Amino acid sequence: MKRIIVTGGAGFLGSHLCERLLKENNHVIAIDNFFTGSKENISHLLDNKNFEIIINDIIEYIHVECDEIYNFACPASPIHYQRNPVHTFKTSIFGILNMLNLARDCKARILQASTSEVYGDPLEHPQKENYWGHVNPNGIRSCYDEGKRSAETLMMDYYRQYNTDIKIIRIFNTYGPRMNENDGRVVSNFIIQALQNIPITVYGDGSQTRSFCYCDDLIDGAIKMMNSENFIGPVNLGNPYEMTVLEFAKKIVDMTNSKSQIIFKDLPQDDPIKRQPDITLAKEKLNWKPDYKLEEGLKKTIEYFDNYLKNK
């Protein structure tokens, strides 16, 4: 039985990862400070004898004996990471330093949950892993974008200097049950607005594109990456099926039978115009590609938010 740390283990993706690792007969230690994570996300795991939760901010030193570390701790939506940008940057830099030192000391393998935001507002489309990105280093999104880019730098430096056993995944837009209601992301925003029959807010003219990966597919990819040999990444994990934000809004209205009208607001600063992963490398190295069709994943997500709003 492996002892596996999941930082951000009470978050949206972290909680799904903890659940999956427990099903695979591991001892899972979730570390979370509940900045954006929630106790409700892991409440169903608390009775499992192979699960423990440590309330801690990873910018503070912690030592826990382990075999593997999944570093998923960091606010990932603009509303939350811009709420305290200095702390967001510290989470990426001091947090990964603490986890890399822990991995080195325990001779553990560490996986960094990086992001498609390392590509910024890309000039290459779709984005491949060898693209260096087009990122504003001093904008309102920089605390997250540059923090994640710096974390990748530290991962590679520990690999080269200390031979630390590392893995890097770059996560593209992911959705599913347990998304934060107030995270400002397009999936949760549109579903909640549609279920409440209030106006759906599209930023810009809605022609910007996104691709959406269901959480179960993403977790599959992360675990495959952790268990892979002779491949450290970075590797894109996401769904290459691309659509405009306006098309997506209309789909949500249709799937929820909503009376919501679509309204348009100004596009936020540095909001990417296009975002689509090239997953050739993931197919080749991990034998991974997303299985969920968009409608399939959205149905589960809509059900989750419908129940959430009814029980609120």
* Banded model confidence at residue 167, pLDDT cuts 50, 70, 90: very high
What is the mean pLDDT of the segment spanning 22-49?
Answer: 96
Is residue 270 very low, low, confident or very high in pLDDT (cuts 50, 70, 90)?
low
- Residues with Cβ within 8 Å of residue 73, at least 6 apart in sequence: 7, 8, 11, 14, 31, 32, 33, 58, 91, 95
Reduced to 3 states, what is the DSSP secondary structure of residue 273? Answer: coil
Q: Please compute the mean of the pLDDT values over residues 173-181 and round it to a whole number.
A: 92
Alpha-carbon span 108 to 100, nearest angstrom: 9
pLDDT: is 79 or 265 the higher one?
265
Backbone angles phi, psi at 253, to 5 degrees: -60, -45
Residues facing 70 on adjacent strands: 6, 111
75 with 145: CB under 8 angstroms? no
Dump pLDDT digits (tens) for 94-111: 999 999 999 999 999 999
Q: Choose the catalytic residue: 70, 81, 119, 144.
A: 144
Domains in the chain, CATH or no CATH each: 3-176+213-238+277-291 (3.40.50.720)
Q: pLDDT-derived band of residue 274, with 50, 70 and 90 as boundaries?
A: confident
Q: What's the whole-number average pLDDT of the chain? A: 94
By mean pLDDT, which of 57-66, 77-86, 279-288 is the weakest?
77-86
Q: What percent of the chain has pLDDT over 90?
A: 82
Two tokens, residue 293: 């069709």
φ, ψ for residue 107 (rounded to 5)? 55, 40
Binning the chain into helix, strand and coil, the percentages to the nearest 5 are 40, 20, 40
61 noted as active-site residue: no
Contact at 8 Å (CB) between 148 and 117?
yes
139 has a pLDDT exceeding 90:
no
Distance CA 278, CA 132 (A): 14
pLDDT of 50 reads: 98
CA atoms within 13 A on the CB side of 58: 33
Residue 201 has pLDDT above 90, yes or no: yes
- Given a cut of 70, whether residue 301 has pLDDT beyond it is yes
Residue at 171: amino acid letter: I
Is residue 17 scored above 80 in pLDDT? Answer: yes
Q: Taking the model in full, what pTM does it have?
A: 0.94
Is pLDDT of 77 > 70?
no
pLDDT in tens, 216-269: 999 999 999 999 999 999 999 999 999 999 999 999 999 999 999 999 988 777
- Residue 91: what pLDDT? 93
310 or 155: which leads in pLDDT: 155
108, amino acid identity? A
Tokens encoding 38: 């929630």
CA distances from 57 to 18, 35, 114, 153, 204 (A): 18, 9, 18, 21, 36
Which tokens in the block code for residue 115?
A: 């992001």
Position 13 pLDDT exceeds 90: yes
Instruction: Calculate mean pLDDT across residues 105-134.
Output: 95
User: Which amino acid, residue 311?
Assistant: N
What is the structure's pLDDT at 300? 98
Write the CA distances from 310 to 147, 178, 301, integer angstroms: 37, 15, 14
